[in-house]
Structure 1
């Protein structure tokens, strides 16, 4: 190899090395100095911070371009390099925007507060996840176009496979629609304590697929949106007078004196228990109907403030007390017929 060739290689390596040092150290130092100065404008500071990665990749790409130019690389290498750099830059910008999506939603919420337009705190997280998903899809198609992939042919292929995909993704589609139902009807908000036939807990987040709840023992529940959208939901946080509502069925041979004695003892239990309070609403113990299985009973017990703070514990105490009283009085619960195994 001639001296000139070694000099060319040295120039290429020097271009890569210098731009790497500039991108890794100088750009990082510059952004570290700039971001604290923008502390008063949180969105602008987050935007600048998110752009640090794309700025570094731009400097690195410049070094590779200079190296290829110094080496007199063939045209196809420049074309390949252009596509690779464009792909890396697009991924970097896409990731920056993906991270900024929650901050944009926070800005929308602040603007709504200034304009006296209330934005439900359930909408923000849901739209954030939807926006992030749309961003991923958009970046994916832009990268395909960078590499010259025929999008019309791709869409035609997607159309042919659409039926198979829709069949495989039925649950995900139901969850997405369930999320939109929850957002539009707003049966609860972030931070609310809710109860349904299948879940009980405090709502922490909602995505386009599921809703996250924290139970009273700290367990994280991830519930599909389709499940919550199709179930009756009690938002305990919105109930003006929190109450325990217990229903059970006694055996059909239960007598009137046994019912009177049970009602009397249940009323005494509610009046003596600190978890319950009838100052704002009277206790209700009633026969709601006669069924094939027996006598249907309903107990509605308004709670005290302390009892409402431990809603699940108060309801559990009431159920246990009812079972103890029924056993003490020798009353039988209704026996439901067993389902024979097929």
Structure 2
């Protein structure tokens, strides 16, 4: 007796449920959940973290459109529309903070972005494993040092009387310089400090990408007589290109998010002309000045610009190099 005579076909029966999802799909989803339950349990704490500490606080963005009073609360404070935004855009510090943020971020991209890539390429070319491990440890270590300690070290090195750099200048017969009190020195100091702290750690991602390049490509290139330089240009760099593009997109998306913790520890009123960025202005307005609604509006502007930049750079990357986040 064949399946048709039994009232069955060679395809599994699909029963539609009330919500439009077939019972077969439901059972498949349930079986997948049961099968991968341990993986979902591992993901759950991180999802919970993002929901509680990242997405739930986003409700507070409504403060940017209100004349917020801590005594009235978020929902009972009166609406003011875009007044906080217009106050920021027309205020005396908008141009200065925006320009300083862009200058510091672009200096970090131009100088700090290529260095981890160069480090990863150098580590990949060195054949002495013990030497590579030693240098990697030295370059990784500053990343795990607190920003307060890093800023303290920089302050001590650049101290106007007993700092290492001023001692060297004095020995060379030159005048001592109070580096942290001169606005023109702040951007180079911050950029070099950020490179020193994070370049080694950021190189880990590129080193991981290098391990994914097939060794057969290098063997074939060597058999064809390609030098190490040509292998670097035609195999290594193309293999790193997707990772480089993705990291660049993320970096451009954070172009307005400069590490304000270190800047606050290093800057002073004398260097505000080059050191005061949007995030430090938000800190002074919101925490020190008590203008929570105004500071929220500035922070929302900062986040919106970053989101738009990620969209634009990702779309441009997809068109030009066919590489993107999505």
Task: Return the TM-score normalized by structure 2.
Answer: 0.26
Q: Flag the structure with higher strand content.
A: 1
**Bigger relative contact order (CA 8 A; separation at least 6):** 2
Greater C-alpha Rg: 1
Q: Flag the structure with higher helix content.
A: 2
Task: Return the TM-score normalized by structure 1.
Answer: 0.25
